[in-house]
Amino acid sequence: MRRISLAAVGLLLGITVAFADGQKEPEPQTWSWNGVFGHFDPVQLQRGYQVYKEVCSACHSMRLMAFRNLGDPGGPGFSEAQVKALAATVQVADLDDKGEPTTRPGIAADRFPSPFPNEKAARAANGGALPPDLTVITEAREGGADYVHALLLGYSDPPADMKGKMMPGMNYNPYFLNGQIAMPAPLSTDGQVTYAEGQPAATKAQMAKDVVAFLSWAAEPKMQERKTMGIKVIAFLFVLSLLLYAAYKQLWRDVDH
């Protein structure tokens, strides 16, 4: 137990040092899916998918996501027809009847296409840096959704003490390790994405919130189902406890104890 405790303390100290050494800790945000009764907003997830598709998918893949997932319960809530239409907007590599390579419009069962055919092509197009897959990015990064949100909005000119330390082609972002990141600011201006009528204005802050919501759902698409089941189980156990107590009182009502 002592060794386990020391290891846990060391891990916590390591995390603290990682944030403190050239990396700013992200500010906590309020997210609708946090807490026992937390849930995803389907309309926000639809906006977030739009931001991913029009901005992020130019460099980042989401290999574990299929178009059919966009219609799953607890997700963006696209209809079957909408899912088919979204899938058909991409061209997917396939083989024809003769076994020759060809392309076809996507179908609901297809996974999101990768922007690059292989890792070497991805690095060549991004100055040697490999854009990470975003399917589980909010679970894979320390700080989760707060970190991704802070990173998206954290781009700025380097402070005076950093200007001489910036490597060629790098961008300043205090939320990235050592403040230097190869990826340029993906959300550069307000209105970069045009939301449907009746939706909030597509400011950088709103787009960041929406795409982080979508990425958080993609990382844990069954979260809402899991929480709903947990609440039902707790309610069942509570009622069962009352019934057992009532049965106990009834059975032992004539016995002194």
The closest alpha carbon to 36, from 230, 209, 235, 216, belongs to: 230
133 shares a domain with 217: yes
- b/e 165-176 (16+ beta carbons within 10 angstroms → b): eeeeebbbbbbb
199-204: average pLDDT: 96
Residues 206 and 216 in one domain: yes
Asked, for residue 120, whether it belongs to a domain, the answer is no
> Running DSSP on this structure, what letter comes out for residue 141?
S
In-domain check, residue 121: no
Kindly report the CA angle at 221 between 126 and 212, in degrees rounded to 5? Answer: 45
Q: Are residues 181 and 74 in the same domain?
A: no
The reported pLDDT for the residue numbered 111 is 96
pLDDT digits (tens, 9 = 90+) for 94-138: 888 888 899 999 999 999 999 999 999 999 999 899 999 999 999
Could you give the number of structural domains in the chain? Answer: 3
Task: Determine the structural domain holding residue 105 and report its residue range.
Answer: 66-110
Identify each DSSP E strand in the chain by its residue range.
Answer: 91-95, 101-105, 171-172, 180-181
DSSP-assigned beta bridge partners for residue 180: 172
Is residue 94 situated within a structural domain? yes
- Give CA 112 to chain center in angstroms: 15
**139 lies in the same domain as 47:** yes
Q: Same domain for 52 and 168? A: yes
pLDDT tens digits, 3-56? 444 344 343 334 433 454 568 999 999 999 999 899 999 999 999 999 999 999
Q: Is the domain of 38 the same as that of 27? A: yes
154 and 148 Cβ atoms separated by less than 8 Å: no
Looking at the domain assignment, is residue 118 inside a domain?
no
Asked if 53 and 136 sit in the same domain, the reply is: yes
pLDDT number for residue 203: 97
Helix, strand, or coil (residue 79): coil
Same domain for 162 and 193: yes
Beta strands in 122-177 (DSSP E): 171-172
| pLDDT of the residue at 224 | 86
The pLDDT of residue 212 is above 70: yes
CATH value at residue 180: 1.10.760.10
Q: For residue 126, which amino acid is it?
A: N
Cβ contacts of 149 within 8 Å, gap of 6 or more? 26, 29, 208, 209, 212
Query: For the chain, what percent of residues have pLDDT higher than 70?
Result: 91
Q: How does residue 172 score in pLDDT terms, banded at 50, 70 and 90?
A: very high
Instruction: State whether 138 and 204 are in the same domain.
Output: yes
